Structure 1
């Protein structure tokens, strides 16, 4: 079997559990891979790889689409409930029946180490109606770029993600050296906290597949991956950031509800008590001017 960059494969030794795209075939003993739907990087010898045919790829894509649509429906359902609560609170507070109010949703700065994932994420932000500025760069460049991006974009929410992996042969799950990019993610979080120290003034999500969750939280992230060192879906950071963006700033983000709407769940994602960033206003004139 021969492989080319861009081919889809699975790893035989791992039970063909993850779909990868080939990123380098310079050495048949060490072919570099990245997850097609999971934020994971890996390598494997040619002998351990199985090329995915068109029928298998179609089946996989349909299954992933089903998961994404299920999460989207859950998110929209929760948003409707939040909006109904907001309308009730405003109706109780103002003498005008059914006051028309406008919303200022939290702005997201999304830094991603993968250009294709960034495109997929920004499309979902747009679908959910979340203002976003996307920036693609290598994970190791993020600590050097985050301060200037924060100054330029002035976001309410910062997402730091890309690819990661935990390699047990390089150390325990408490050793940063055992992770592909957790060190860079943690450094980026610390640089962001130098600029904006308060946990409620800038909400940070950091991490990717199998990332060092505890280290990222200690560095200053509000949300991070991966508590159980499992893989996370490419869109998981979007759902967390979007929920924060749509939660009123006087309310606390309900962690259990947020994680329920992600594809990965509590094994792959976690966080600390955090306030929302949505602000509402009255009267509604022309929200497009805001």
Structure 2
């Protein structure tokens, strides 16, 4: 039997290697796994794991990168339409030469996975969304979120990491049947103690297979996962970036969110929310 080590890229033979995982921890004959692209955490017997060859991994990465790039381009097209509409409004239908600047909503992103956090911050930067990223274990998030909100003063909060639902531990309503949904719920509740209004602090919370209903009930604007399916690592980024880059006088509809996501309505949902971007005039250049 091939020795399984922490950090290796593997698949589960019993699932036909449908999801690619990183080995997070090994205890005896059981390994704790984290999805490479999906926000899923799972335990698996070591004898069920298959090490993914580098050439196979590269093929998977190429397909995944193309999917992510398609999503990015769709988002950019949507963003271009919003900017064109903004320019039309600011210039009174292009009849006046008015220069203006934009202040996108600031994101505080709490992530249980440092690798995912790095991927997410790179995409935020590419989209032009200001972000302050913090890596915390999911169980630490409820304890730290209030002080971080006070320090960063974000417009948008992301609470994510890894999760999973185990039918053997209870039905879908039981938080005890989830790996981290309870921590996400508690974090949202603590955040709402600091800023109770949904348009003063927009919250996305959840990961793969998370308890969507409980997270929304706790006070989140957006959450995963309505059908308890897996969500992509970058889904939280595209959800909140849409809010960050939409003018605050406009509403962000649920379809607006879903059409630029990687997962869709089975994995993501929420309520109508005001945008967080503010426009100002005149345009200015800061002195260095």
User: Aligning the two structures, in what range does the TM-score lie when normalised by the shorter sequence?
Assistant: over 0.9
Deviation per CA, 1:34-56, whole angstroms, max 9, x where unpaired? 10111111011122111100111
The equivalences for 1:37-116 within 5 A come to 37-92=37-92, 97-116=96-115
Matched residue pairs, number? Answer: 286
Whole-angstrom CA distance in 1 between matches of 2:97 and 2:275: 24
Give the C-alpha shift of residue 204 in structure 1.
Answer: 0.1
Instruction: Say if 2:9 and 2:51, in contact at 8 Å, map to a contact too.
Output: yes
The equivalences for 1:181-192 within 5 A come to 181-192=180-191
Give the C-alpha shift of residue 181 in structure 1.
Answer: 0.4
The equivalences for 1:1-290 within 5 A come to 1-28=2-29, 30-92=30-92, 97-286=96-285, 288=286
Scaled by the length of structure 1, the TM-score of the pair is 0.96
Give the C-alpha shift of residue 25 in structure 1.
Answer: 2.2
Deviation per CA, 1:137-174, whole angstroms, max 9, x where unpaired? 11000001000000000000000000100001000011
For structure 2, list consecutive stretches of 5 or more residues without a partner in the other structure.
none
Instruction: Say if 1:87 and 1:98, in contact at 8 Å, map to a contact too.
Output: no
Deviation per CA, 1:97-130, whole angstroms, max 9, x where unpaired? 2421100100000001111110111111111111
Whole-angstrom CA distance in 1 between matches of 2:22 and 2:265: 26
Whole-angstrom CA distance in 2 between matches of 1:48 and 1:143: 35
For structure 1, list consecutive stretches of 5 or more residues without a partner in the other structure.
none
Whole-angstrom CA distance in 2 between matches of 1:7 and 1:114: 16
Whole-angstrom CA distance in 2 between matches of 1:285 and 1:50: 57
Give the C-alpha shift of residue 259 in structure 1.
Answer: 0.8
Whole-angstrom CA distance in 2 between matches of 1:254 and 1:199: 14
After TM superposition, what 4+ stretches of structure 1 lie above 6 angstroms from structure 2? none
Deviation per CA, 1:203-259, whole angstroms, max 9, x where unpaired? 000000000000000000000000000001111000011100000000000211211
Give the C-alpha shift of residue 14 in structure 1.
Answer: 1.6
Deviation per CA, 1:58-82, whole angstroms, max 9, x where unpaired? 0111111001100100010000000
Is the deviation greater in 175-184 or in 40-49? 40-49
Is the deviation greater in 254-263 or in 244-253? 254-263
Whole-angstrom CA distance in 1 between matches of 2:284 and 2:57: 49
Whole-angstrom CA distance in 2 between matches of 1:119 and 1:79: 23
Equivalent residue of 1:25, what SS? strand
Give the C-alpha shift of residue 2 in structure 1.
Answer: 1.6
Equivalent residue of 1:268, what SS? coil
Instruction: Say if 2:253 and 2:271, in contact at 8 Å, map to a contact too.
Output: no
Give the C-alpha shift of residue 93 in structure 1.
Answer: 7.3
